[in-house]
């Protein structure tokens, strides 16, 4: 599972909108990160954190203490109060197996995704083990007591069969072979999608998928934790409850 080309934006207008209900813009104390660096010492751990966000995401926004305090009070107030979280946007290219995407697809509200096309491009490249999620595969897992067959043998048999069907389709252009490729493609097939979400979506996913059996959800939650101000906004209550 991979997360690539992550972009994060919208902090400035989210904070401005957060203060609209009480017309308290004059109390906003957030700043441009470039100016804030002048007040940090070289060994300040917070400065290193902000520089990492700037280098990785191009982030140039520094939350002030008053703005962050208000944001966290709104977060604790519930989803109807923390609407500003929906205005902090994230775009990322995720490469994950189909069995994970099926679960991700339950999150339809506030998310948009464009995927590589299995329907149109499945036959265009060789089918190999690299096309499947195998990061935590147990290749020696046996089917039954004393059975010499293993997942390893099964996997390679399936992959070989799919590749032979693919080649036959390219040779004959017979749509029947293409249909069988689609029909028997395993759920471990890797698909890349460009996904756009917001911090409120990510907060819901982070809490709802805590302790899930699929290791891919742990990887997703770890990626969330790497985002700017994830500790202060997305996982805020989670951290507070364990202190």
Write down all domains in the chain, each with its CATH number in brackets: 2-113+190-242 (3.30.1360.170), 120-184 (no CATH)
By DSSP bridging, strand 61-62 and strand 31-32 are antiparallel
- CA-based end-to-end distance of the chain: 31
Q: Which residue has the tokens 């957060």?
A: 18
Residue-level pLDDT, tens digit, the chain, 243 residues:
999 999 999 999 999 999 999 899 999 999 876 555 556 666 666 777 888 888 898 888 889 899 999 999 999 999 889 999 999 999 999 999 999 999 999 887 678 888 776 665 788 889 999 999 998 888 888 877 777 778 888 899 999 999 999 999 999 999 999 999 999 999 999 999 999 999 999 999 999 998 899 999 999 999 999 999 999 999 998 454 434
By DSSP bridging, strand 61-62 and strand 89-97 are unpaired
Q: The pTM is what?
A: 0.86
In terms of phi and psi (left: phi > 0; alpha: psi -120 to 50; beta: otherwise), the region of 129 is alpha
44 φ/ψ angles, rounded to the nearest 5 degrees: -70, 120
- Please report which helix (H) or strand (E) contains residue 167, including its range: helix 151-172
Contact 201, 111 (CB under 8 A): yes
Tell me the C-alpha distance between 185 and 118, whole Å: 10
Q: How many residues does the chain have?
A: 243
Q: Any idea what DSSP says for residue 194?
A: E
């Amino acid at each position: 599972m991979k997360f690539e080309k992550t972009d994060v934006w919208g902090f400035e207008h989210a904070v401005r909108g957060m203060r609209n209900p009480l017309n308290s813009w004059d109390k906003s104390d957030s700043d441009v990160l470039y100016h804030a660096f002048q007040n940090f010492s070289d060994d300040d751990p917070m400065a290193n954190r902000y520089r990492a966000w700037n280098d990785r995401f191009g982030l140039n926004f520094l939350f002030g203490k008053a703005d962050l305090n208000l944001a966290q009070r709104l977060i604790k107030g519930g989803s109807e109060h923390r609407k500003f979280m929906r205005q902090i946007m994230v775009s990322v290219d995720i490469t994950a197996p189909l069995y994970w995407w099926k679960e991700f697809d339950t999150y339809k509200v506030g998310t948009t995704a464009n995927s590589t096309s299995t329907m149109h491009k499945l036959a265009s490249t060789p089918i190999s083990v690299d096309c499947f999620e195998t990061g935590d595969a147990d290749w020696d897992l046996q089917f039954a007591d004393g059975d010499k067959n293993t997942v390893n043998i099964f996997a390679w048999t399936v992959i070989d069969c799919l590749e032979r069907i693919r080649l036959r389709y390219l040779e004959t252009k017979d749509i029947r072979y293409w249909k069988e490729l689609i029909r028997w493609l395993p759920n471990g097939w890797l698909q890349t999608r460009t996904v756009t979400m917001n911090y409120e979506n990510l907060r819901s996913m982070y809490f709802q998928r805590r302790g899930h059996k699929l290791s891919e959800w742990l990887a997703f939650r770890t990626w969330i934790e790497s985002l700017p101000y994830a500790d202060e906004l997305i996982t805020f209550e989670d951290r507070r409850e364990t202190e």
